[in-house]
Amino acid sequence: MRCTTRYTVIIIVEVEGKQVGLIIDSVSDVVHLEEEQVQSVEHLTAGIDSDYIAGVVNVKDTMVILLDVDHLLSARELEALSETVSDEDNS
């Protein structure tokens, strides 16, 4: 387990239909977005593995990269997550 600070937070996301808590170093802002605001990244990611990027959006004159949480976790991590959820369901 890594060190936490007063800025460390847990965010709840949905990964493959399951709610998961991710420990994040810090959060600078929370914004509400409309789907129409999200732009494709195809033109921005030439030569870059963009599987984990869902899109980009401009917020207050700053380009923000939206992460695709379904692709952030490795197959091994997803398997461990499924086993954990399965174990909790069986208890």
The per-residue pLDDT for range 21-35, each reduced to its tens digit, is 889 999 988 889 999
The per-residue pLDDT for range 42-52, each reduced to its tens digit, is 776 666 677 78
DSSP lists the bridge partners of residue 63 as 58
Structure tokens of 29? 């802002």
* Cα Rg of the chain (Å, integer): 16
Domain architecture of the chain: domains with CATH: 29-90 (2.30.30)
What pLDDT sits at residue 9? 94
As a whole number, mean pLDDT of residues 39-64 equals 81
What pLDDT sits at residue 25? 93
